[in-house]
Homo-oligomer: A and B are copies of this chain.
């Protein structure tokens, strides 16, 4: 391992001068900087993060805590985060909270012990991360008061809802996965708000919601709006089993534009998050906090994007005709 000392010896200056030349902090002459830089290059010098961290108290590493790395959306966050992070020379240390609130706390502790400079937390649904002694950026949804950045789930809900209303549906079913999740509640909230009085919407939650939704369709509803592509796929399977054609008889929508959404049959109409933007902002906001500054985007949401595919169409048997109000 070649250290600053070796370079100093070679060039014939003190280690402090080398440090200054390399980091560009103190006062060093142009030519001296060049000599040191080239020598460092020749030797293939790599600064020791450990030494720097010890002296400065900053490790250049941030921690990422996610509720469950298994959720098909999180990989993308992790990926984008890791890409955004190494643009700013940060390392990303991961921790999985295994879907449990207590593990989330444990994960936070482990990361703090490693000396991370800050944390990015996608909270366990229905929980609030513990207070921590380092800056933290929460990715959740706008209704979370601690939210630093997230997709505009309410707006996303409104997007699909308006699409469904505009193509003529008047009686629909909203299907959520877990009522504890703020994200899913916000999506549903966005839908109902956008519908207003124009559209009649029944809301169901959880696994058993799927069969209720099917009953509602039999009762005359013409569309099922879910809060997740995974739920949409499940509904699709059930509709296949009960011989209700999509989108012929039932229009179906998901959320998050997961990997399988475009290759389902019919391809699923869904709402996509701009994960890249969210990840970039999360890093920016956290970096700003670490530097003791505040970021202009802190607390703001990123718009979602409606992806219309083949699973939605105009209702062939609008509810009103069969069951006039």
Chain A interface residues (CB < 8 Å from chain B): 46, 48-51, 53-54, 59-61, 64, 68-72, 74-76, 78-79, 82-83, 86, 91-96, 98, 110, 113-115, 230, 233-234, 236-238, 240-241, 259-260, 263-267
* Bound CA–CA A189/B36 (angstroms): 56
Contact A69 B82 (CB under 8 A): yes
Measured between C-beta atoms, what is the minimum distance from A7 to chain B in Å? 17
Measured between C-beta atoms, what is the minimum distance from A255 to chain B in Å? 14
Q: Which residue of B lies closest to A83 (CB)?
A: B96
Contact for A114 among B49, B64, B95, B241, CB less than 8 A:
B49
Measured between C-beta atoms, what is the minimum distance from A95 to chain B in Å? 6
Contact B61 A69 (CB under 8 A): no
From A76, A95, A230, name the one whose CB has the most chain B CB atoms within 10 angstroms.
A95
Contact B79 A68 (CB under 8 A): yes
Contact B61 A93 (CB under 8 A): yes
Measured between C-beta atoms, what is the minimum distance from A239 to chain B in Å? 8
Chain multiplicity (copies): 2
Measured between C-beta atoms, what is the minimum distance from A132 to chain B in Å? 13
Contact A75 B86 (CB under 8 A): no
Contact B79 A70 (CB under 8 A): yes
Measured between C-beta atoms, what is the minimum distance from A112 to chain B in Å? 8
* Bound CA–CA A230/B114 (angstroms): 38
A53: chain B residues at CB < 8 Å are 49-50, 53
Contact for A82 among B71, B86, B95, B236, CB less than 8 A:
B95
Q: Which residue of B lies closest to A259 (CB)?
A: B72
Q: Which residue of B lies closest to A54 (CB)?
A: B50
Contact A260 B230 (CB under 8 A): yes
Contact A78 B83 (CB under 8 A): no
Contact B230 A263 (CB under 8 A): yes
Contact A78 B94 (CB under 8 A): yes
A83: chain B residues at CB < 8 Å are 96, 98
Contact A86 B74 (CB under 8 A): no
* Bound CA–CA A246/B293 (angstroms): 59
A-B contact pairs, 30 of them (CB 8 A): A48-B54, A49-B53, A49-B59, A49-B113, A50-B50, A50-B51, A50-B54, A61-B114, A64-B94, A69-B75, A69-B76, A70-B75, A70-B76, A70-B79, A72-B72, A75-B78, A78-B78, A79-B96, A82-B95, A82-B96, A83-B96, A91-B93, A91-B114, A93-B93, A233-B263, A233-B264, A234-B263, A237-B264, A237-B266, A241-B265
From A50, A54, A82, A234, name the one whose CB has the most chain B CB atoms within 10 angstroms.
A50
